[in-house]
Chains A and B, each alone.
Chain A
Amino acid sequence: MTDVAAREEAIGWTIRLRSAAPADWEAFTSWLEADPAHAAAYDLVTLADAEMVDAVSAIPAAPEPVAVSTDEPAVAANDNAPGFFRRYGALAAALLVCVMAYPAYRVLVPTYVVETALGETRTVTLDDGSVINLNGGTRLVLDRRNARIASLEAGEARFHVVHDPANPFAVTVGGADVVDVGTIFNITREGAQTEVSVAEGAVIFNPKREAVMLRPGDRLRVEGSGKPAVVRVDPGEVGGWTSGRLDYAAVRIGDIAPDLARALGVPVAADPAIADRAFTGTIIVDRQDRDAVGKVAALMGVSAKRTEQGWRLSGQ
């Protein structure tokens, strides 16, 4: 067990570092280096901190997880919460950890996250029979109470949804909504850029704002809160990554690099000098091949170099 003084200091750092400037982090590094007991104490506090965040997150507070405004804090609602509600929250918190062991209680925890590492793919079947394929490096939030909504926070997913006109399937991505009209479609979220492509059926992009109707072979791309643009692609290639195929028709190498990273499980960056070069062709992704990046680079007419961060595509 670490000594009390180290723990007290570690608590102080844990609190202070929430809003720390770089100089604070440097001071913190020096503190850690001063005594191995410091790092051990800080580990203990951060693990406790993570548990506390889980526990408090599961206690119902304000209905919306928005930042508290200074005049009428959301915490006021919590002060009025009846005792049974708090106990219920504690129960929900406990179940959050045990969802695997107690599936019957899953319904108490409304949203859950499905995540994949780079190079890992996963398939999720929802209660309504809709199937979502997650490409590598993807984070998707689903709702246990409502199988017809999903939120793609990062990465790429192909949605094969069971169409129900009375209750359309809706995906939130980068602040926009994508609503199906009977469909197989693919969404990628890379940084602030969203791309929606339709293989079958149709989707409406952001029905409340731009309301762009996308048909098979349409690919919509939007950067941040900019204006969406639609280009034509081969509908057969949409979501081709699910079968290890990446098809491109005059696509920037800079835009292909993140696809490769997702598929191969290694970071791939494109040198700015060649990032704007266009590539047309089909890349078959073989994760088992150790030189996969090198071969793909050769196909695109560039060279691949191993860097500390992964791979870098550059000119010859």
Chain B
Amino acid sequence: MDSSGLEKLFLEHRPALARFLRARCGADLDVEDMLQDLWLKLSDIGVDPADAQAYFYRMADNLVTDRRRSAQRRLRRDDAWNAHAIGPGEESPAPSPEREAIARSDLDRVAALFAELGERTTAIFRSYRIDGDRQDDIAAAHGISRSAVEKHLQKAYRAVLQLRDKLDAEIGEADRLTDEGAEERI
């Protein structure tokens, strides 16, 4: 599809996308800026007009997730640096060993959690989220029902969210310990 056709479609769906983005990110992200970014990404890619509308939404959704993720990373990095008292003119130190250990173990723990959830759940998640297979096809491949596929996926998400709660609590704990350590040195 040529870019002028895509542009026409995009402009047509722009108000709905703006509404979606406003609902999705609230007041903390600039919706106009996001739409511009979205158009920029779209104009680089060939899209089948039949799928364009759902594709716009998917891209918009991914864009918000990307921004949230980089904000989260920045926040964690800043936290790690702030854990050290930096005087003016001093070089930023590397993140504290405690912080690094936590960051390193985060994904390790998610991976370990998948090992706990079992190979079937991991395989189903992989097929659905990474290989992009349809739920019906996954169900057929595993000889289970479609709703069973959905249950495997829900189980995985639920487990990771619980892990996230636990990890966040630990980060809070690590901060507390770091702060105490700093006070002791003074």
- Counting contact residues on chain A (CB < 8 A from B), the size range is 35 or more
Beta-carbon contact of B115 and A52 below 8 Å: no
Given known contacts A11-B154, A47-B69, A55-B110, A101 and B127 CB-to-CB distance under 8 angstroms: no
Closest CB of chain B to A314's CB: distance in Å?
Answer: 12
Beta-carbon contact of A68 and B131 below 8 Å: yes
Instruction: Answer yes or no: A59 CB below 8 A from chain B CBs.
Output: yes
Instruction: Answer yes or no: B145 CB below 8 A from chain A CBs.
Output: no
Question: How many B residues have CB within 8 A of the partner chain?
Answer: 74
Instruction: Answer yes or no: B43 CB below 8 A from chain A CBs.
Output: yes
Beta-carbon contact of A94 and B7 below 8 Å: no
Residues of A within 8 A of B164 (CB): 44, 47-48
Closest CB of chain B to A221's CB: distance in Å?
Answer: 16
Instruction: Answer yes or no: A61 CB below 8 A from chain B CBs.
Output: yes
Identify which of residues 41-77 in chain A touch chain B, using a CB-to-CB cut-off of 8 Å.
42-59, 61, 65-68, 70, 73-75
For B35, the closest partner residue in chain A by CB is A308
Closest CB of chain B to A3's CB: distance in Å?
Answer: 12
Beta-carbon contact of B119 and A48 below 8 Å: no
Residues of A within 8 A of B112 (CB): 90
- Complex: how many Å from CA A32 to CA B134? 25
Residues of A within 8 A of B103 (CB): 97-98, 101
Beta-carbon contact of B115 and A86 below 8 Å: yes
Instruction: Answer yes or no: A316 CB below 8 A from chain B CBs.
Output: no
For A36, the closest partner residue in chain B by CB is B26
Closest CB of chain B to A310's CB: distance in Å?
Answer: 7
For A190, the closest partner residue in chain B by CB is B44
- Complex: how many Å from CA A230 to CA B157? 52
Interface set of A (CB-CB < 8 Å, partner B): 1, 7, 11-12, 14-15, 17-22, 24-26, 28-29, 32-33, 36, 39, 42-59, 61, 65-68, 70, 73-75, 78-79, 81, 86-87, 89-91, 93-98, 101-102, 118, 137, 154, 190-192, 261, 267, 269, 272, 308-310
